[in-house]
Structure 1
């Protein structure tokens, strides 16, 4: 049975005006989200993953940001979100598409009671009484597994632990039963035990509410058991995308390989140093002509710094942008894991 597609992003570009020039933060990304699935966007800091999420939400500053071009689309419910006014986006945010931000302490109002903050998001989008909004807020606190929700409703953010505050952020985001939930680094600054609890909670709520989830993170360990599909971004572009099992066990891009090599593994010899990716990402005020990863890639060829890689398809939904999969590529020393040939699009 075909899944219902709830979001389609085509050729998304985002540029920021600065004193030094225009920063090309996102450089033509294409992806989709189906109802009830979790899509992870991974990559190191500055790769464009959070900017992509905020572009969907319409949360980027309008005075110095250019979103999209004549071919760009963010399609949701038959509407291109790029073309909507601020008022139309405000109606959408929190009701149809919600976001959990990185730091709940700075996202929550320290002067308002927790319950009032949840109820406020419900009142903004629904014509209901304050009493009914309070009932929904207590129900949401219970849903995100906060004990004694009636008492917790009256408390302030400083009375909650980091994990509890993140649960409150999830409650606020889901209070209006959105179709899409964007979680931007939802486990940052939490210890590993709480991280696991938060990811388990998001996964359970996704199934219960049939919500589509976009999980933004730099940590591949977080997405291993949570995502259905993964997008790997680098220097504002998607370099590889596919099902979670494809990315972990059948990866095709050297950057994905480097990310996985840098994740600690219990089975590895602890006396050996953990892999460290050398170099720095490119300056996106003056983006590279070829592959942005080429200066840091152990397997780069001459063409990599001259021409943007073609898209190669390996299986349904598994794609990578890398010259190593061209029939004329020099693959000496390249790990066998990367080398399986696919079908080049010539794009």
Structure 2
């Protein structure tokens, strides 16, 4: 299974009246062909900025993809690509599903026309042929009465149907990579499950590689092969899905897992809440960015960024607790699972 996407030393900043906000601070990762990679973290950690950088949707100014950043798609650097070439890739070979379909779909255009437009641009279809294909795509994402719905406007669709229409649009050109930015956040739990199941079915059909961006680890448990945890513009832990769920190593990952409600919990039990706030990225800390919220913090955590420790070939973490001379600390989440 080869690498279809490689991101190297990605740094993205936003220039504001207050100074330079370092949203993404030098991250490296890859995406394999046909796999689902989950990017998990709370709001403001740099997940969505990373996805927009891959699509080259960072508005300049105020945003800037810093020099030295590389986004290699099949060996070609998207950062250095001219706009004309990029347009043929964006939407055609790399597509994106945005968090809120109501703001992503054009409210003045019929849904079918919006899907057909992409087919005309990227596949060179005639308008009639593209419209027929748009109807087929709506049927494929399980929208009832697709032949009628294709002539309706976004406001005539429910939230779940709008998200399905966005998926139909994103997959209409059979892209090699699909980036899903919080695709289920605005939906209720049953519709969330349907959307995730639909994405899995379509992935199996088209062989699409997926980057799933979310703040909810529960959403990616059954869809992702690998997970990387982001915090303060950095990847602090990465591994196979089973590594992250059953052998988490970073205190922030422990906190994310503890905050997911579990079956069997008493209705009077207090839900876990991570205290504190992420650091100000106008002045990023010199040490570990999680230090002010971590109850296991040591003096070195404030003074120096932790090194990357390899747990297994696929699993690594950036935390001083993994240093040989650090005190041994067991994951509170793992201990709870093992009881």
For residues 188-209 of structure 1, the C-alpha deviation after alignment (integer angstroms, 9 at most, x for no partner) is 1110000000010011101110
Q: Distance in 1 between matches of 2:295 and 2:256?
A: 13
SS in structure 2 opposite 1:315?
coil
State whether structure 2 residue 221 is matched by structure 1 residue 221.
no
Q: CA deviation at 1:159?
A: 1.2
For residues 96-129 of structure 1, the C-alpha deviation after alignment (integer angstroms, 9 at most, x for no partner) is 1000000011111111111111001111112221
**Residue matched to 1:33:** 31
Q: Distance in 2 between matches of 1:269 and 1:162?
A: 32
**Residue matched to 2:54:** 56
Q: Distance in 2 between matches of 1:91 and 1:165?
A: 25
Q: CA deviation at 1:334?
A: 6.1
**Residue matched to 1:300:** 297
Q: Distance in 1 between matches of 2:153 and 2:209?
A: 30
- After superposition, the CA RMSD in angstroms is 1.3
Structure 1 pair 330/86, CA: closer, same or farther in 2 (3 Å)?
Answer: same
Shifted more, 284-293 versus 60-69: the winner is 60-69
**Residue matched to 1:208:** 205
Give 1:65's match in structure 2, choosing from 63, 66, 69.
63
**Residue matched to 2:129:** 132
Q: CA deviation at 1:84?
A: 1.2
Q: How many residues align?
A: 335
Structure 2 matches for 1:156-235, cutoff 5 A? 156-235=153-232
Contact 1:299 1:333 in 2 (8 A): no
Contact 1:301 1:330 in 2 (8 A): no
Structure 1 pair 334/141, CA: closer, same or farther in 2 (3 Å)?
Answer: closer
SS in structure 2 opposite 1:55?
helix
Structure 1: any 5+ residue segments left out of the alignment?
339-347
Q: CA deviation at 1:4?
A: 1.9
Contact 1:299 1:334 in 2 (8 A): no
Give 2:71's match in structure 1, choosing from 74, 83, 104.
74
**Residue matched to 1:278:** 275
Q: Distance in 2 between matches of 1:21 and 1:253?
A: 30
Structure 1 pair 336/144, CA: closer, same or farther in 2 (3 Å)?
Answer: closer
Structure 1 pair 332/184, CA: closer, same or farther in 2 (3 Å)?
Answer: closer
For residues 201-245 of structure 1, the C-alpha deviation after alignment (integer angstroms, 9 at most, x for no partner) is 011101110000000000111011111110100000001000111
Q: Distance in 2 between matches of 1:192 and 1:332?
A: 35
SS in structure 2 opposite 1:33?
strand
Q: Distance in 2 between matches of 1:137 and 1:65?
A: 34
Contact 2:249 2:331 in 1 (8 A): no
**Residue matched to 1:341:** none
Q: Distance in 1 between matches of 2:329 and 2:117?
A: 60
Structure 1 pair 172/278, CA: closer, same or farther in 2 (3 Å)?
Answer: same
SS in structure 1 opposite 2:311?
strand
Q: Distance in 2 between matches of 1:333 and 1:185?
A: 31
State whether structure 2 residue 279 is matched by structure 1 residue 247.
no
SS in structure 2 opposite 1:245?
helix
SS in structure 1 opposite 2:173?
coil
**Residue matched to 1:238:** 235
SS in structure 1 opposite 2:79?
helix
State whether structure 2 residue 101 is matched by structure 1 residue 104.
yes
TM-score by length of 1: 0.94
**Residue matched to 2:11:** 13
For residues 11-46 of structure 1, the C-alpha deviation after alignment (integer angstroms, 9 at most, x for no partner) is 111011001110000011111101111000000000
Q: Distance in 2 between matches of 1:301 and 1:52?
A: 30
SS in structure 1 opposite 2:67?
coil
**Residue matched to 1:342:** none
Q: Distance in 1 between matches of 2:202 and 2:218?
A: 20
